[in-house]
Chain A
Amino acid sequence: MAIPGNKDTRDGIIFALPFLLVYLVFMVFPLGFGLFISFFNWDILSSGAFAGWANYRRLFQDELFFSSLWHTVEFVLITTPVLMVLGFSMALLVTGNSPLRKVSENVFFIPYILSMTVVGTLWAWLMQRDYGLLNQIVRQLGGEPVGWLTNPKQAMWSVGIATYWWTAGFNMILFSAGIKQISKEIYESSQIDGANYFQTLFRITIPLVKPTAALCLILQVIASFNVFGQVYVMTGGGPHGRTRVLTQYIYEAGFRYFKMGYSAAMAYILFLIILVISVIQYAALGKERS
């Protein structure tokens, strides 16, 4: 916008300053320190020795690094699509004409305000193999108890289920905003054309909420890549490391095994992966928009 006297650069900096100061002290500086650490063999407690790229090189030979990274990717793949669809479906429900829409909105959103620890312990309890509610029900129906968190094939999905329950409500709100934005006339004209519910859904609603979906997707992927709490509380990375995600390995390597330099190097790789994926997403979605 045109500005008299053109003080934009000055103003921009002044307005940005309070946050930038905080960001510099509590994010950029520690992050820089972390990068520094990643080039050292450092056990946290005594002084470290410069290691050059050794920590980064070592990571490529560490099968635990790759399996943990894969588990993280797996979690992203398990949660992202479902959370998008779930959030969208919920949004359809709460923006529709059901008499239950207000109740639904609350019911779906409330889990989001709970803390990760609460959600994690609650679901670990529901899914406890021998006394948890889910298996009580399964047994009542005459089935064999399911190892929700103890069967390697299901454990990651079970953590996913808890995550769906916890965060789908947030996506619902984003999507319902997008849906409410679509003008009534578009729907009316489509009705006049004789389109049924599903035709309207696929021809109008879905194409028009794409921008919202894009925002939702970016936030979701970032959150899923950084997953730590749910897995740590619910499975502790088990069974036999089958759900150990990269953040957990980073945590263990640093604080349990005193390999802080290595831990920092892995954290940086994860950071880079997330950054690259976000930029690609942003660019791809931006292209689609224009």
Chain B
Amino acid sequence: MKKILLRSFEVLILLIWIFPLAWLVITSIQLESDVISSTLRLWPRNPTLENYRKAFGSTQIMHWMANSMTISFSTMILTLVVDAPIAYAFAKIKFRGKEILFWAVMAGMMVPFQVLIIPLYQQFNAFGLVDTLAGAMLPRLAMPVGIFILKQFFEGIPSALEEAAFIDGANRYRIFATIIVPLGKAAMATVIILSFINAWNDFLWPLIVINDTARYTITVGIANFQGTHGTDYALIMSGALIASIPQFIFYAFFRKKIIAGIAMSGIKG
């Protein structure tokens, strides 16, 4: 009896947690006139795909999707390329000033982004990066969250493995490539996944640096579904759902890796 009560409680919590998402879908398949009504209706009176037709028909949403893909995949790969070596250095190599350097890098997480906008823009303008996807993506690479996660994980790899390799005459690069990278796969998976999610969700910076509508990212593009004077919730929700679909697919594919990876990095604390 107690068990049944407990289970029903669990089910209730899960329903509550998932319901906002369900509501997102339900709102998106209605006409605005049906959405704005004062009677509670859990299932739409006239389900319709009109909002989706509008979203796909009258915007460059497929372009935006492709741009977001390009940005997110590039961010994900480049993040790993720059983050893994330094995380290894922090975790395993003793060198002078390491502590200070580590904190200097971690401090990057604490910077309010608003202060970087103008300096970065001036810089990117000088580099010719304004209105390019690269420009929208590059500042993401300087975010040190991935380093933090990787460092935690690399520290857990037994030093005995490295020492044995040293005795066999291997140098650091070999050790990094043949021991650390293969053993750190799970944590690296987490990092690339988190950087994919974060890059996909980036909003303010891409909005500022990209001018051409055809080069918008999906989050920037669908933000325009918000009207100048008045909110069409149904349309906005359809945009939100479209923009999230690749995220869902990505999650479905890498679900195990994400969870295992975050878990592993959390172990050490």
Contacts and interface: CB of A to CB of B under 8 A. Distances in A.
A27 B111 contact: yes
B101 A125 contact: no
A222 interface: yes
B266 interface: yes
Interface in A191-221: 210-216
Nearest to B234: A125
B144 to A, nearest CB: 8
Interface residues of A, number: 101
Interface in B185-226: 197, 200-201, 203, 219, 222-223, 226
Interface string A168-185: 001001111110110000
Interface in A249-283: 250-251, 254-255, 260, 263-264, 267-268, 270-271, 274-275, 278-279
B77 interface: no
Contact of A19 (B93, B147, B262, B265): B147
A11 B89 contact: yes
Contacts of A114: 201, 240, 244, 247
A67 interface: no
A233 B117 CA distance: 19
A140 B41 CA distance: 11
A263 B236 CA distance: 32
A7 B263 CA distance: 33
Contacts of A125: 23, 27, 233, 236-237
Contacts of B105: 19, 23
B18 A107 contact: yes
Contact of B110 (A107, A131, A222, A264): A222
B94 A271 contact: no
B138 A26 contact: yes
B223 A117 contact: yes
Contact of B17 (A19, A98, A107, A225): A107
Contact of B112 (A20, A100, A177, A250): A250
Range of interface residues on B (Cβ < 8 Å): 35 or more
A7 B172 contact: yes
Contacts of A264: 115
A142 to B, nearest CB: 12
B62 interface: no
Given A12-B95, A27-B108, A104 B10 contact: yes
Contacts of A186: none
A117 B203 contact: yes
A9 B96 contact: yes
A214 B268 CA distance: 10
Contacts, number: 255
A115 B203 contact: yes
A158 to B, nearest CB: 13
Contact of B14 (A11, A104, A216): A104
Interface string A23-37: 101110111011001
A60 interface: no
A11 B36 contact: no
Contacts of A137: 40
A226 B114 CA distance: 10
A270 B219 CA distance: 27
A103 B7 CA distance: 13
B108 A131 contact: no
Contact of A226 (B21, B39, B82, B112): B112
A108 B219 CA distance: 23
B4 interface: no
B166 A4 contact: yes
Interface in B13-30: 14, 17-18, 20-21, 23-24, 27
B115 A176 contact: no
A1 B162 contact: yes
Contacts of A274: 110
B141 A22 contact: yes
A274 B111 CA distance: 8
Contact of A15 (B113, B172, B244, B263): B172
B269 A211 contact: yes
A74 interface: no
B114 A271 contact: no
Nearest to B89: A15
Given A2-B163, A125-B23, 4 more contacts: A19-B147, A26-B141, A122-B240, A173-B266
6 contacts: A4-B166, A12-B93, A34-B119, A114-B244, A125-B233, A178-B266
Interface of A: 1-4, 7-9, 11-20, 22-23, 25-27, 29-31, 33-34, 37, 44, 93, 98-100, 103-118, 121-123, 125-126, 128, 130-131, 133, 136-137, 139-140, 165, 170, 173-178, 180-181, 210-216, 222, 225-226, 228-229, 246-247, 250-251, 254-255, 260, 263-264, 267-268, 270-271, 274-275, 278-279
A-B pairs with the 9 shortest C-beta distances?
A211-B269, A12-B95, A177-B263, A30-B119, A267-B115, A115-B201, A33-B119, A15-B89, A174-B266
